[in-house]
Structure 1
């Protein structure tokens, strides 16, 4: 997006930041343009612009009461219009588009544009990442927040404001923070148990991890091929990979297996898995490394903690 900047350079949003959801046009008609240009477009085209600039919100409500015929509806209209005109740089607007939550800070006065729609600029465009650059993917956000997009009007306050600000600021909820601390301890304990396994049980553990994610073994574990402990197939894509498993290893040993992998085209990917030792090599698109940091995480994600406890007991 032309108006996006490096969010990693920004300061965190204060906890008293006001947050509003805005629907950018009927059925999102203006979404792409606004997100690209870093602007906010707003309807209510009939609203007297000069009345809004004067802050005559009683007059605006009276105007819409004539149009709507209902006091409550006119009051709601006036509230949304006032928010669009008066929200400042200490506020944020959010919207949802393309699988992401987007947010921006409004700035400047509202202006009348084509078809009497209203336009406001933003501080530095719309963003779909947190302050630290983490993508704000809708599927990874709380449903309590994402249900805001079902609002039938144009602008409303975000009920889950505290949660929203924490996500933008990369701050976990207190409950998540406690859980993350506990998980760090648990992973260390898992690694200690993994290191108690004999090589055959470690190979079996790795095989179970891959099986849980859909990979199918094509040859028996620990076969006679010197560079392959597991020959795997992912049925959904037809991708083939081989896995080399070592209880203890080194960078030099890894390089010998990596060379063998690069010298053949029989497999699209290589996994190198170990629990003790250091391999100071950056992974590539074709070569994945699972070492002491990754293996405990995989055990948890595969639901194999009980299996591991039984084996390590």
Structure 2
């Protein structure tokens, strides 16, 4: 497994992915003799690099040797355009007849092109990958080994890290416990919890907490986006009550978003599938309380 930089700053990447090739040019853009490399005369290649003025000729020799000698079972990886791409080489190295000053001097064909998705079709977006892997893109030379090969293979194969599975199971247990603690809260404490969740999410309350407004429990604004929100909080309710508050929100027309929060609904609740309509019940509500760091706040109320 090797990471390869497709030109300085990835300038060959788009064309290489389109053509299904793995291009390469040695450091300094001084073209090394293809015949020596194909013959495996690496001592002579090293002497040539030294004569070219390379202070550490072993590095370009190692890269060139990897490019020529690594077999068709080697996984080649690159990162460009916010995506990780992988491919397998097929066949020998092919020299470019007259390489341009800013172009590759040789290339290998890929077996079936470059792939920017996992085997299951999930896009391999770099921002979703561990920095232990993506930092490889900062390597200054052209070819290097990959430290987290196990992690990369799991992502390509859509396999979960066993530690991830354990962590998700533990998070599920925390969520169950958080929901039980939420359901034990007095309605005033529950309203305070909801207010804290929004506050930690960057919303500001513009209404008085605990006041008996006829249609809404909280009115909020978001100083960054400039949005306003209309929030109704219920410990328990049913679909008819939810529909009634949706009608009130539509008639009011003063806020951008509608939030309906209930920890113990009577039956399953449904809300129109609209981007500015939000329904928080059960696990969703418990998960949000954990995400904004209110698990300890809930824990204190079980004493």
Range into which the TM-score falls when normalised by the shorter chain: 0.7 to 0.9
User: How many angstroms does 1:228 deviate by?
Assistant: 1.8
Q: Determine the C-alpha separation between the residues in 1 that align with 2:199 and 2:131.
A: 31
Q: Determine the C-alpha separation between the residues in 2 that align with 1:125 and 1:289.
A: 42
Q: Determine the C-alpha separation between the residues in 2 that align with 1:207 and 1:257.
A: 19
Q: Determine the C-alpha separation between the residues in 1 that align with 2:68 and 2:252.
A: 64
Equivalences for residues 123-138 of structure 1 within 5 A: 123-127=112-116, 131=120, 133=122, 135-138=124-127
* 1:124–1:288 Cα change, 3 Å: farther
Q: Determine the C-alpha separation between the residues in 2 that align with 1:75 and 1:112.
A: 22
Alignment match of 1:288 (pick from 274, 278, 285): 278
User: 1:175 aligns to what SS in structure 2?
Assistant: helix
Q: Determine the C-alpha separation between the residues in 1 that align with 2:109 and 2:271.
A: 46
- 1:67 equivalent to 2:52? Answer yes
- Contact kept, 8 Å, 2:74 with 2:89, in 1: the verdict is no
- Single out whichever of 301-310 and 77-86 deviates more from structure 2: 77-86
* 1:241–1:34 Cα change, 3 Å: farther
User: How many angstroms does 1:275 deviate by?
Assistant: 1.5
* 1:124–1:232 Cα change, 3 Å: farther
Q: Determine the C-alpha separation between the residues in 2 that align with 1:150 and 1:121.
A: 25
Equivalences for residues 1-313 of structure 1 within 5 A: 18=1, 20-35=2-17, 38-44=20-26, 46-68=31-53, 73-87=56-70, 90-98=73-81, 100-109=82-91, 110-113=93-96, 114-115=99-100, 117-122=105-110, 123-127=112-116, 131=120, 133=122, 135-138=124-127, 140-277=128-265, 278-281=268-271, 283-313=273-303
- Contact kept, 8 Å, 1:194 with 1:312, in 2: the verdict is no
* 1:51–1:252 Cα change, 3 Å: farther
Structure 1 residue runs without a partner (length 5+) = 1-17
Q: Determine the C-alpha separation between the residues in 1 that align with 2:69 and 2:245.
A: 63
User: How many angstroms does 1:101 deviate by?
Assistant: 4.6
Residues matched between the structures, number: 291
User: How many angstroms does 1:165 deviate by?
Assistant: 2.2
* 1:69–1:143 Cα change, 3 Å: closer
* 1:273–1:155 Cα change, 3 Å: same
Q: Determine the C-alpha separation between the residues in 1 that align with 2:273 and 2:150.
A: 38
Structure 2 residue runs without a partner (length 5+) = none
* 1:195–1:35 Cα change, 3 Å: farther
Q: Determine the C-alpha separation between the residues in 2 that align with 1:225 and 1:92.
A: 63
User: How many angstroms does 1:77 deviate by?
Assistant: 1.4
- Contact kept, 8 Å, 2:89 with 2:108, in 1: the verdict is yes
Q: TM-score with structure 2 length normalisation?
A: 0.82
User: 1:276 aligns to what SS in structure 2?
Assistant: coil
Q: Determine the C-alpha separation between the residues in 2 that align with 1:243 and 1:93.
A: 51
